[in-house]
Amino acid sequence: MAQRWLKVDLHIHTKEDPKDNITYDAYQLIVKAASLGFQAIAITNHNQITISPELKDFAENHQVHLLPGAEISCEGRHVIIINPPFNLAGQKFTWSDLKELKQNDSLIIAPHPYFPGFRSLFERLDYYHYLFDAIEFSAFYNRFFNPNKKAIEASLKYGKPLIACSDTHNLWQLGTSFTLVEAELSTQSIIQAIKKNRLKLACQPLPLVTMARIMINFLLADKLHLPLHI
């Protein structure tokens, strides 16, 4: 299988997420991803792997490769794990546990590390930078507000590749930020290409109206437990 530039997003949520109240399911996401030309995606619902043989077959039928992944809570802070070495369901994680998750076949990403919120990493990224394989360049930014500046500094300081993801909670967010990865269309090839920084980031600042729309959706889901659909 030849290497090529693959359109990839490794931070997406769906209706199957046990934490967020989302309106579209994994199958609808795959259809949307295919329509936007994505070759590979990861569904990273909170603290669980959303994947099955049926879902993988459905994705393959739409020419989309599905990587197993999850956004786990590590002592209250969010961490993305792609292709974890064991089942994550129902587990609580410490920073020491991440050492077991850090395998050659897995990918650990620091998601939205400086996004203003209690679940973001902030100084934890400095303390535990050696546990991460990549740092997310968040889709949530514009020319007035850009927490990615600190993410870029951390990437340079610790020699970690930057990977652009959308953190999609609404289907209209998909495609706002993604990464081109030079790899074969397989989980292992994509993971190794990211670790070797064979990447091109595709992202652009969001309009203020779009950023407000995203923030309102987060508040509806986290505080009022209403579906994300604005």
Q: pLDDT band at residue 30, thresholds of 50, 70 and 90?
A: very high
Give the helix, strand, coil percentages of the chain, each rounded to 5.
Answer: 30, 25, 40
DSSP 3-state of 185: coil
Mean pLDDT of 19-29: 93
* Residue range 120-141, pLDDT digits in tens: 999 999 999 999 999 999 999 9
**Amino acid in the structure at residue 229:** H
Question: What is the separation of C-alpha 91 from the centre of its chain, rounded to a whole number of angstroms?
Answer: 19
Supply 97's token pair: 């546990």
pLDDT of residue 221: 62
CA distances (Å), origin 171, targets 77, 174, 176, 197, 229:
25, 6, 10, 28, 9
Residue 31: how many CB atoms within 10 A of its CB? 15
Task: Give the integer Cα–Cα distance in Å for 29 and 100.
Answer: 30
List domains and CATH numbers for the chain. 4-224 (3.20.20.140)
Residue 224, pLDDT above cutoff 70: no
pLDDT of residue 217: 77
pLDDT of residue 225: 43
Higher pLDDT, 227 or 20: 20
N-term to C-term CA, the chain: 41
* Residue range 150-168, pLDDT digits in tens: 999 999 999 999 999 999 9
119: Cβ contacts below 8 Å, ≥ 6 apart: 73, 76, 77, 78
Strands, E assignment, 154-197: 162-165, 177-183
DSSP 3-state of 123: helix
Supply 112's token pair: 């939205």
Q: pLDDT band at residue 226, thresholds of 50, 70 and 90?
A: very low
**Strand bridging mode 40-43 / 65-74:** parallel
